[in-house]
Amino acid sequence: MAYLNPNEEENIERHTKFLSMVSNMDIQKIQEIEQEQKVLTEKIPFKVKYPKDFLWQIYYSEYTNQYFMLVPTEELDHSAFFYLLKKQLEANNEEKIFVPISYSEYSREYFNRVQISDIENYLWLFTKEWPIVYEVYDKKENLSMHISGKTYIFDDIQSDYKIELKNKEDSIKFYKLLKALFIMQTEMPHHFEFKVKINEKGSLDFYINNKKVIYEILPSLIKEEYLKAEERKIRIMEEKLGLEKKLDALQKESSALEKEYLEREKQIATFLVCKKTFFGRVRYFFKYKKVTLAKQDEENLRKQEIKVIRLNKYGEIKSNYTLEELIEVYKNVDKDELKVKNLGSDIKAITARITNLQSKVKNAMLYIQEIDNHKKSIFDFWRFTNKDKQEELPEGTTQEISKKTLKKVFDYELDFEDFAINLDKIQRELLTKQELDSIYLTTTEILEDINKVVQNEEITNDRIEQLKEKTLQKNGLLDKENFDIFSGMSYDNKLKNLADQKHRESEKDVFNILDINKNTTLEEYTESIKKVIECLKTAFEKIKVNVNLPVYMCSLKDDIENKYNVFNITATEALNKLLKKEINDVNLYKINLNENTKILSFTNSAYYDNTNKTLPLGMNVEQALLLDNRELKLKEVNNNKIKIVCYEEGNELSKINVKSINVKEFEILQ
């Protein structure tokens, strides 16, 4: 009351301040708050969010069991305070308003603080965004728990979601479901990965292998997965037994080959020593008998029939299994799989060793066989050993290791800036002004006419008349009676800003490029479009993408047409162009570009005439590429449907409209 009482000297300054606040009061802002309250009173919106939370400095005091509001007098906007003051003057006992209470404690009726913290952590795992958990009381003091946030639904596309829990039972079920899925995915990440999808109400559904998971099916899901793990464990143990037997057989074969090779090596070494003297040659001739090239029974050693006894399941099947039992069985599965993997590596290594030893033994026996071929008589053996020849034992075979070529993979957050600058540099260097102008035309409504000519459709007279009218609306700059002698030159000398960089370049103009004036005929316009198509054709031969890159386009049509199409580098940017329209079903096309795919990009040089050489490098106007789908051989590799939450009136207090998006993904065939 001190601010309203000017009679006392100590209150004069406060009263003056209050009068200043009143004089600066904005009635329109108060009316906007009043309108917000009407919306909140009729129905709690999808997201309870105030655009200017800083105006509502309302707190709750446990000591006095009252709410109080702090009003910074130095602030310029006091609309929330005057709205509350107005409502108090109009007050009746039944009227209520909806306001955010700062630093208010949870009621703990549904969740305690630890559980709320758990929910935030659990949801982050599945959505990769932190949710907001808050309590909402309606006019009848009924409590509901709201959990809202954002989640990725496809590539970089995000959607809002809200989970509303209206009673204790639903809250407990939701918490247990979330906790169980969190434990399964974090404890057994190689076996479980749950996906989230937006449902018709804008809430979250959880899926695994395209199967929806709800609280009621958790026991059956755990039991099913446990039995799968047991069956998998049995198969792995059978495989492990087989690999152990195979490894044992290969080890024996390796030992036998190594022993045989050492014997042959010793015989060859003895021959090389004995051939140096007369008595040594005679001794070797009578000591070692002629040997024949032994054939290794590889098929018996390498392809032994492995008989594995079928293992029986341990114990009886129970009616239910716990998460602890599921984790334990999968841990055993992982251990056995690791052993099988190691056995496979050991078998691969020893197989290579056996192959090498077999080659060495074969070479050694061939060497010895050549010696034995000259042991028909002592005189023949004498002549053979007198040859002036360097004897050596051939080496075994070498194994060629296949090399994998690493390819660049595009990451938007890390690579886009360098990618855009590099493309802009290339296009400025390789493309002519006419080719850059042609790219610019595809960023405008002229693309529709270009595609008509490409698809052998006629451009109507109405179209050329429409363009003439637009020309005259631009002050007749291309009218023959008032021709722009400066063309694209930057004669105003004004600094412009592009991506926080200054430059003095002029934006390109459709009518300037196509030379449209009031006397332009349909035939002349069509010829101009044909020249543009020729320029695009030559430009496409010069520019190729240097990285594997996904691009996106939204359309209302069910298939990509064979014409020039504009694709965005992010799915979100492509989708936003159509989500603003009142359309329920949208088609989102994704094409995975390979290295060396022909493209043209909407870099800065496509939008501006770089006459003064001050234009920044990059893609700061639009992050998009032009593709000629007539030249691409596409194969559809994925087709699914996702949902996204949209707001009818563009603000979060308005009604929601959950829109369906048909996603089609394509690969380019070489």
SS (H, E, C) 293-306: CCCCCHHHHHCCCC
Q: Residue 308 — very low, low, confident or very high, per pLDDT cuts 50/70/90? A: very low
At residue 402, the pLDDT reads 57
Binned at pLDDT 50, 70 and 90, residue 620 comes out as: very high
**Has residue 301 got a pLDDT over 50?**
no
d(CA 591, CA 446): 24
Instruction: Quote the CA–CA distance of 158 and 544 in Å, as a whole number.
Output: 30
Distances (CA, A) of 600 to 1, 50, 423, 542, 596: 70, 44, 9, 9, 12
Question: What pLDDT is stored for residue 260 in this prediction?
Answer: 86
- Give the mean model confidence (pLDDT) for residues 597-609: 94
- Secondary structure of residue 190 in the 3-state scheme: coil
Q: Which long-range contacts (CB under 8 A, 24 or more apart) does 108-114 make?
A: 109/143, 109/168, 110/135, 110/143, 110/145, 110/165, 110/168, 110/171, 111/145, 111/171, 111/175
Q: Are strands 656-668 and 585-593 parallel, antiparallel or unpaired?
A: parallel
The CATH class, in words, for 412-668 is alpha beta
Give the start-to-end residue ranges of the domains of the chain.
9-89, 113-213, 222-385, 412-668
Identify which of 594, 556, 583, 589 has the alpha carbon closest to the alpha carbon of residue 644.
583
Mean residue pLDDT across the chain? 83
Q: What does the pLDDT read at residue 305? A: 40
- Where residue 48 falls among pLDDT bands split at 50, 70, 90? low
161 falls in which pLDDT band (50, 70, 90)? very high
Query: Which positions ≥6 away from 660 have C-beta within 8 Å?
Result: 584, 585, 586, 641, 642, 643
Report whether 398 contacts 499 (CB < 8 A): no
Q: pLDDT confidence of 282, banded at 50, 70, 90? A: low
pLDDT at 527: 93
Output the CA–CA distances (angstroms, integers) from residue 493 to 471, 505, 560, 604, in the order listed. Answer: 24, 9, 44, 19
432 φ/ψ angles, rounded to the nearest 5 degrees: -80, 170
Describe the crossing of helices 433-441 and 522-540 by its angle, rounded to 10 degrees.
Answer: 110
Residue 401, pLDDT score: 57
Out of 141-155, 365-379, 494-508, 631-645, which region has the weakest mean confidence (pLDDT)? Answer: 365-379
Which residues make Cβ contacts (< 8 Å) with residue 18, sequence separation at least 6?
3, 4
CA distance 281 to 489: 99
DSSP string, 621-632: S--EEEEEGGG-
Span between the terminal Cα atoms of the chain, in Å: 81
The rounded percent of the chain whose pLDDT value lies above 90 is: 45
Residue 395 has pLDDT above 70, yes or no: no
CB count in 10 Å sphere of residue 98: 17
Pinpoint the alpha helices (H) of 373-411: 378-385
Least confident of 43-57, 202-216, 278-292, 441-455: 278-292
Q: Check: CB of residue 18 under 8 Å from CB of residue 7.
A: no
Please work out, in degrees rounded to the nearest 5, the angle formed at the alpha carbon of residue 152 by the alpha carbons of 51 and 499.
Answer: 65
Q: pLDDT class for 124, splitting at 50, 70, 90?
A: very high
Does the pLDDT of residue 388 top 60, yes or no? no
* Structural contact between residues 517 and 478, judged by C-beta atoms closer than 8 angstroms: yes
Question: Which has more pLDDT, 487 or 523?
Answer: 523
pLDDT in tens, 405-449: 666 778 888 999 999 999 999 999 999 999 999 999 999 999 999
pLDDT at residue 601 greater than cutoff 90:
yes
Three-state secondary structure string covering 500-553: CEEECCEECCHHHHHCCCCCCCHHHHHHHHHHHHHHHHHHHCCCECCCEEEEEE
* Span 610-632, average pLDDT: 92
Do residues 373 and 384 make contact, with C-beta atoms less than 8 angstroms apart? no
Q: Which residue has the tokens 């793990």?
A: 229
**Kind plus residue range of the DSSP H or E element containing 132:** strand 132-137
CB 298 within 8 A of CB 228: no
Looking at the predicted structure, is the pLDDT value of residue 352 above 80?
yes
Poorest-confidence range of 140-144, 195-199, 350-354?
140-144
Helix (H) or strand (E) holding 572: helix 571-579
DSSP lists the bridge partners of residue 505 as none
Mean pLDDT to the nearest integer, 178-201: 95
pLDDT at res. 59: 86
CB neighbours of 447 closer than 8 A, spacing ≥ 6? 441, 564, 566
Q: Rg (Cα) of the chain, in Å, rounded? A: 40
pTM of the model: 0.77
Span 614-620, average pLDDT = 93
| Reported confidence tier of residue 4, pLDDT bands at 50, 70, 90 | low
Q: Evaluate if residue 372 carries a pLDDT over 50.
A: yes
